[in-house]
Amino acid sequence: MSERSEINRVLETWMSEGPSTMPDRVIDVVADRIAHRRQSRSWRLPWRLTMTPQIKLAAGLAAVLVVAVAAWRFLPGSDGVGGQPTPIPSPSPTATTPPLLDGAVTAAGTYRLWPLPESAPSLTIDAAIPAGWRGFGSWAIIGPRPAEEHAPNGIALAFRATEGLRSDPCHWDVDGSGAFEQPGDIEVGPTVDDLAAALAASTVFQSTTPTDVTLGGFAGKQLDLELPADLPETISECDLETFETGGAEGRYYVFSGAESAGFHAMGEVPFSQVSIVDVDGTRLIVVLMSHPGTPAEDLDAAQMILDSLVITP
């Protein structure tokens, strides 16, 4: 049997049995043939190639690579000589992204909120929203018309973040700029317990004792706040927030921080259920605002929304 026939026979056996190593005698033969084969070079090397054990090993690895490439050419998905493998399409998504909640909900379903685009841009909240409710700014869910969030029978949910609290929510404009971004004068630690304890300790409004709660799979604390009974009559005396349009309006700000913006009492929300949860390091506050005349079915719907939350960090 010739040397070439011997190599072919050994290679065929090796490929069919699928071992992880090549026989030493094949490596020796291939290395010897490589050493004696004329090479096409772009420049001359100044030294003689000596067949050391290391070079034999390198030659053997080269032979294994050649065999692997040859085998690959005959695998399914290859178009043969010199071609590229046929690309395998990625699987199509099995779930669709819920639409962003902004505006009136005409059909009940799952909608997405994006409440903290600055401090937690990846955080999203999916919720089951009944028809007739409305989204506001991707951070609030407002009750059905005609009451919406207003007294005497409105309801709303807000999803925000806070950096601190104000000892006097009615007179919060300390620097006289009329800008809501001003920090609160009550420093609050970074944890859920820190904020819950600060709210419970406030003498500006009445508070229940914080209890454990879980929202969207994240644990936290929940408490009820009752704002001053005379707030509707005194709201006009509160500091004015100025707008880019040039207007101004009295605001009652309990929370401070850039992403607590828009979340204020307008003298019409005496009751607030505040839930505080830690979402992988982000302290999220969820506030349910209602009135003494809010219908029971709207309160039940709001609780259903809270129960349906899916929070993604």
pLDDT in tens, 229-284: 788 788 888 999 888 777 888 888 999 988 887 778 766 666 789 999 999 999 99
Per-domain residue ranges of the chain: 3-73, 103-312
Max CA distance (Å), the chain: 110
Instruction: Provide the 3-class DSSP secondary structure of residue 258.
Output: helix
State which amino acid sits at residue 259: E
- What torsion do the CA atoms of 26, 28, 30, 31 make, to the nearest 10 degrees? 160
Instruction: Name which of 104-113, 115-124, 145-154 the model is least confident about.
Output: 145-154
Element (H, E) at 279: strand 271-279
Residue percentage of the chain with pLDDT more than 70: 68
- pLDDT band at 122, cuts 50/70/90? very high
- pLDDT band at 24, cuts 50/70/90? low
> Please, is 132 exposed, middle or buried when counting C-beta atoms within 10 Å of its C-beta (0-12, 13-18, 19+)?
middle
Instruction: Name which of 60-64, 188-192, 224-228, 249-253 the model is least confident about.
Output: 60-64
pLDDT of residue 99: 95
